[in-house]
Amino acid sequence: MSKIIPFKAVRPTRDKVNLLAARSYESYTSMQVESRLRDNPFSFLHIVNPGFKYQKEISGVERYGLVRNRYQEFKEDGIFMQDEKPSFYIYKIVNRDGLEFNGIVAATSVQDYENDVIKKHEDTLEFREVLFKEYLKTVGFNAEAVLLTYPDNQELETILNQIMDSRPEYEFTTTYRDTHYLWNVDDEALLQKIQDIFSEMPALYIADGHHRSASSYLLAKDLMAENPHHSGDEAYNYFMSYIIPESDLKIYEFNRLVKDLNGLEKEEFLIKLDEYFRIENRGMNYYKPSELHHFSMYLDGEFYSLNLRKSKYEIKNALDALDTQILYVTILKPLLGIEDLRNDQRIEYSHGKKDLAFVKTAVDSGTFAVGFGLLAVTTEEMRHIADQGLKMPPKSTYIEPKLRSGVTVYEF
């Protein structure tokens, strides 16, 4: 029931892919962006930051048009080329920590998104959806795939392993010390076999890219309405995705940092916590949760373990059982007065790769009053929430792999 199709990717020539591929623009500091734009004329950052050519900060609709121009220039200069045949792209990443991710870059259906065959677990912000939709509409391409996942499939794994035994089209290591491999698959029989396997899957799950997929869906609705000859086969009926098995997905937690105790004294705060949690003072010993519904807290120079009193908390669905939700409904909202997890300036988030030493340092500095450490969400939890049509609190998951922009580009 899941529909994926091959497409003719626009992609860098083999000799320039390592120079062109870029992380998400937001992941760079301003100094890093400046150095890459200055020293590397082939970086994809030149496309998404077109004002550098004029030494001017450009935003809004004016920027969108210039992004389109820079992209066309890269094509005209032979930095990009387009495949002649529709293809799937087998993409392997081995990251700096030795983790390996294997998947397929393909075009996935906006109709599947609409019909909840592509399932979501996060809420999106409407203004961001509309903003990115307008961006896509102007530039006419998508260079950053949505990350989708599916339950492990032995038949598909065997096919991917056979393909990856051959020489890749791309093999390059980034300055971030991740190694990327890409195989171009255009054999029609093999393409059909892969499509048939996915057609038997009842659902795919968004792991990362909820706003990108929502924007692609909105764009398709716009372009359908504007096209009197709409057939359903147009490129805008699909969006580019990187689809990997669940076992390859790496999920880290997002820890929480809060700037004050909402007017409570330390002892008063601990007493209120006691209603829902069994509390143990761990002193200076780092405590990281290892069980579901256990939390770490760092407060006033000491670590505490907080274990949920199950007799006090009722679990009715998959969301109720999620630790980020439990923390919100038992502590963050009622005790610390944080209702809007996206926009409240009193709370910040630190992904688990920074560990609890980062939380401790942030609290010890006086910038924050208290920090909470959580257990990472599992793929099973994420799937159950999506299947029940529920949405996780924001910043519930930090997911790898993080893809490079520009390695494959989807035009519509």
353-381 tens-digit pLDDT: 888 999 999 999 999 999 999 999 999 99
Contacts of 302 (CB under 8 A, 6+ apart): 281, 282, 283, 284
HSE (CB half, 13 Å, CA atoms) of 262? 18
**177 burial via Cβ count (<10 Å: 0-12, 13-18, 19+):** exposed
**DSSP letters of 25-53?**
GGGS-HHHHHHHHHH-TT-THHHH-GGGG
Distance between CA atoms of 227 and 321, rounded to whole angstroms? 45
Phi-psi label, residue 406: left if phi above 0, alpha if psi -120 to 50, beta otherwise: left
Which residues contact residue 263 at a Cβ distance below 8 angstroms, ignoring those fewer than 6 apart? none
Torsion region of 263: left, alpha or beta (phi above 0 gives left; psi -120 to 50 gives alpha): left
In the chain, where the domains are located: 4-250+400-411, 254-375
- Tell me what the pLDDT averaged over the chain comes to: 96
Mean pLDDT of 270-295: 96
CA atoms within 13 A on the CB side of 13: 10
- The per-residue pLDDT for 175 is 86
Question: What value does the mean pLDDT take over residues 170-174?
Answer: 95
Collapsing DSSP to helix, strand or coil, 165 comes out as: coil
Q: How would residue 56 be classed by pLDDT, with cut points 50, 70 and 90?
A: confident
Quote the pTM value.
0.92
- Residue pointed to by tokens 């009622």: 334
Phi (first) and psi of residue 87, to 5 degrees:
-140, 155
The answer to whether residues 335 and 326 touch, using CB atoms and an 8 Å cutoff, is no
Q: Within a 10 A sphere around the Cβ of 281, how many other Cβ atoms?
A: 13
pLDDT tens-digit map of 305-359: 999 999 999 999 999 999 999 999 999 999 999 999 988 999 999 998 888 999 9
How confident is the model at residue 25, as a pLDDT?
81
At 94-142, the pLDDT tens digits run: 999 899 999 999 999 999 999 999 999 998 888 899 999 999 999 999 9
CA distance 39 to 212: 30
What pLDDT does residue 67 have?
97
What residues contact 233, with CB distance under 8 A and at least 6 apart?
A: none
For residues 11 and 88, give the distance between their C-alpha atoms in angstroms, rounded to a whole number: 13
Per-state percent for the chain, helix, strand, coil, to nearest 5: 35, 25, 35
CB–CB of 220/22 below 8 Å?
Answer: no
How much of the chain exceeds pLDDT 70, in percent?
100
Pair of tokens at residue 19: 């120079």
How many Å apart are CA 243 and CA 239, to the nearest integer? 12
Q: Which helix (DSSP H) or strand (DSSP E) does residue 238 occupy?
A: strand 238-245
